[in-house]
Structure 1
Amino acid sequence: MPQPPHCPHCPEHPQLWKDTSLTSEANPFDWRWYCTGCGSRWAPTHEQKMRYL
């Protein structure tokens, strides 16, 4: 699996985590990027959804 993106807001730029708490068998693409440093969440792009499924 490719390395996840890094947080653009944190000074240390930690890698983002794939938050799958909303993912289900019916909605496998319903996930968000999450930063443990600042707590921000982002919706992945269409390309990221395909790449990190």
Structure 2
Amino acid sequence: MTREELKAQIDELMRQYSDKEIDGATYAQKMMELTASARNEIGEPEDD
């Protein structure tokens, strides 16, 4: 996943939350999954 793809997915997730298509808990969970997945693909270390 490229940074541009990640940004597009985050933007879509933010739009869904803004439009009340998903709730706060779902937004938080999906954002965590998305960023963890991207870190693994991009190869950035996780914060310790």
- The structure richer in strand per residue is 1
TM-score when normalising by structure 2: 0.25
Return the structure number with greater relative CO, CA threshold 8 A, min gap 6: 2
